[in-house]
Structure 1
Amino acid sequence: MVLEEIETSLIMWFSYALIPCLLVDGVAVLPAPQNLSVQSTNMKHVLTWSPVIVPEEIIHYSVEYQGEYESLYMSHIWIPSSWCSPTQGPECDITDDITATVPYSLRVRATLGSLTSAWSTLKHPFNRNSTILTPPGMEITKDGFHLVIKLEDLGPQFEFFVAYWKREPGAKEHVKMVRRGGIPVHLETMEPGAAHCVKVRTFVKAIGRHSAFSQTECVKVQGEALPLALALFSFVGFMLILVAVPLSIWKMGRLLQHSCCPVVMLPDTLKITNSPQKLISCRREEVEACVAAGLSSEELLRACI
């Protein structure tokens, strides 16, 4: 009884170990990968398949593609994928291989040492115009009274149409085209106390398609008194500067004038009250008379005046 159980276990283990390998004309080969499909979202294309399982072994896969040009003008040549020849995982990013909007055939095979499976081909050729386009992620911020948006960077093939408006009856919707994501973009200057709304969708020129619009997001700037007060204080400060600067310059000039050229008060005896012509109007006879009388020079001067 025990021997029979051991024998059964050995047979089951041996069969399990050889399940992944088949004998074709006496030669062991690997089964081909199955269930090939392409998942494509926002121009990112990934080929997937069901893995080939061999216990305690690592299976490698090779991926090749054939576009319209290779099929028509290059004798149906197959080109190895840029990133997946070979690869270990049951998937391959073929975005860089799909460079034109034409049908592409794709195929995969498994390799284990010297064992190689047959090629398994995608059932229906893939065309990148079937990619699923989704609205981009967006981040709306306020920089003072400025409405700023930052969009998700989806790659160089994407352009963005941003619609924005003030939320009020009869408001006009504005549309701005943004050519790349990942950088902040100024949309408009917001009015205090008013809500401003934004929505966005993508456009891919290579396939001539656009996504649906994103969910609408609105922002609002609160408080109008503070900006008015700041404007008032700024105006008053500007007027004070206009008055204070000329006054300071005049005052400084006066101080410099008094410091460099002070005003000196003359004694009364040195002050001239009559004109110079009158000082020489004394007649010669009067001067001689004064001299004869013995008057001093100061009395003589007073007599002449």
Structure 2
Amino acid sequence: MVQTRRSTPIQTLLLLSITLKYASLLPPPQNLSMKSVNMRHLLKWSSLQENCRTISYSVKFQGEYETQILNGSWVDAYECQNITQTECDLTYDLGSDSDYIIGVQAQCGGQISWSQLSSTFNRRDTVLLAPNMTVTVQGNLIQVGFSELPSTITINLQVWREGDEQSVFSEVVKTQTYHYSLDAEKSEGTHCVKAEARLESINKTSSTEKQCFSIQRHQSAWLKPVALSTAVVMIVLLAVALGWRLPHCGPWLKQALCPKEPLPHVLIEGWPIHIKTFSSKLLLEPTHSVILLHPLEAQD
């Protein structure tokens, strides 16, 4: 018969204290990764699922200067101290072409844990993507637009006529919308546009796909005024011709618009016409003669 050995109260308390001690340890942040595109460096990690009211994170790093000159001291990322989110923008912190060691410290109450990237990060490893480019054509005017244009990237725009790649127009673009006017005499045909993004600090380039478009022959700039002047001259000549011809065509036009119809025969032959003549005598009423006297004669 096998007898079971019971643990003493002291052993139970010791085992319980060891369990609580290890259970209270805060696990380190997991899945640290750095995503760097167009010189924007974003560090990310997974959120810890612990029985804490609030878990805060602090990011630290050290470059060649800190490891070699400052005896391996750590620098606090300015905007990523005691944060609750699980990402940190290190674009302005990593300002040199150094191999950086980057780590994240998690804190929950009095518990602290630490984890760091599996390998060093150098900003030269950033992925350079050319911004999205749209091309709109109106006549011989080309409008080129970019979705986003970071200040760290220089855009070199190239425009050329298909078949004449040796004559490429190139200009540095600093705005999101750029207008380019083609030569009116050479605008007919197919033209292509391409943008090249360049990072001067690390000497890295990336280009967009070329976009080609066709421009049909259009009227010259002087053709519209000439056509308008010709129309005005024709209207004046037509008015003069009508003014000269109208008197000669007056009777014919009057006859055409208001034709004169003859009287019916019944009115001419069958209708007796009698004209009576009346004589009148002038009747004068008798009047009295009036004698005009001079005032002196009237006093006598």
TM-score normalised by structure 2 residue count = 0.62
* 1:57 CA drift (Å): 3.6
Query: Cα distance 1:236–1:82, how it changes in 2: closer, same or farther (>3 A)?
Result: farther
TM-score normalised by structure 1 residue count = 0.61
Q: Is the Cα contact below 8 Å between 2:141 and 2:181 reproduced in 1?
A: yes
Query: Cα distance 1:61–1:82, how it changes in 2: closer, same or farther (>3 A)?
Result: same
2:208 match: secondary structure: coil
**Separation of aligned partners in 2, 1:198 and 1:69:** 44
1:289 equivalent in structure 2:
none
**Separation of aligned partners in 1, 2:181 and 2:105:** 51
1:172 to 156, 163, 166: 166
Q: Is the Cα contact below 8 Å between 2:152 and 2:199 reproduced in 1?
A: yes
* 1:59 CA drift (Å): 1.9
**Separation of aligned partners in 2, 1:127 and 1:187:** 42
In structure 1, stretches of 5+ residues that fail to align are 1-21, 240-305
1:85 partner letter: Q
Q: Which of these two proteins has the greater Rg computed from alpha carbons?
A: 2
Q: Is the Cα contact below 8 Å between 2:58 and 2:81 reproduced in 1?
A: yes
- Determine whether 1:134 maps to 2:129: yes
* 1:26 CA drift (Å): 6.7
1:156 equivalent in structure 2:
151
Q: Is the Cα contact below 8 Å between 1:161 and 1:175 reproduced in 2?
A: no
* 1:105 CA drift (Å): 1.0
Q: Deviations over 1:233-273 (max 9, x none)?
A: 47779x9xxxxxxxxxxxxxxxxxxxxxxxxxxxxxxxxxx
1:218 equivalent in structure 2:
212
Query: Cα distance 1:173–1:57, how it changes in 2: closer, same or farther (>3 A)?
Result: farther
2:132 partner letter: G
* 1:43 CA drift (Å): 0.9
Q: Is the Cα contact below 8 Å between 1:146 and 1:189 reproduced in 2?
A: no
Q: Is the Cα contact below 8 Å between 1:106 and 1:122 reproduced in 2?
A: yes
1:34 to 30, 37, 43: 30
1:63 to 48, 59, 63: 59
2:41 match: secondary structure: strand
**Separation of aligned partners in 1, 2:229 and 2:112:** 83
Q: Is the Cα contact below 8 Å between 1:101 and 1:206 reproduced in 2?
A: no
2:88 equivalent in structure 1:
92
1:197 equivalent in structure 2:
192
Q: Deviations over 1:34-57 (max 9, x none)?
A: 222211111111111222112574
Give me the CA root mean square deviation.
Answer: 3.1
* 1:61 CA drift (Å): 0.9
* 1:170 CA drift (Å): 4.1
In structure 2, stretches of 5+ residues that fail to align are 1-17, 234-300
2:28 match: secondary structure: coil
Q: Is the Cα contact below 8 Å between 1:82 and 1:96 reproduced in 2?
A: no
1:29 match: secondary structure: coil
Q: Deviations over 1:70-118 (max 9, x none)?
A: 222223221111221122222211111111111111010111223222x
Percent identity over the alignment? 27
Q: Deviations over 1:190-245 (max 9, x none)?
A: 6454221111121101111111x2122123334524756325347779x9xxxxxx
1:72 equivalent in structure 2:
68
Q: Is the Cα contact below 8 Å between 1:153 and 1:181 reproduced in 2?
A: no
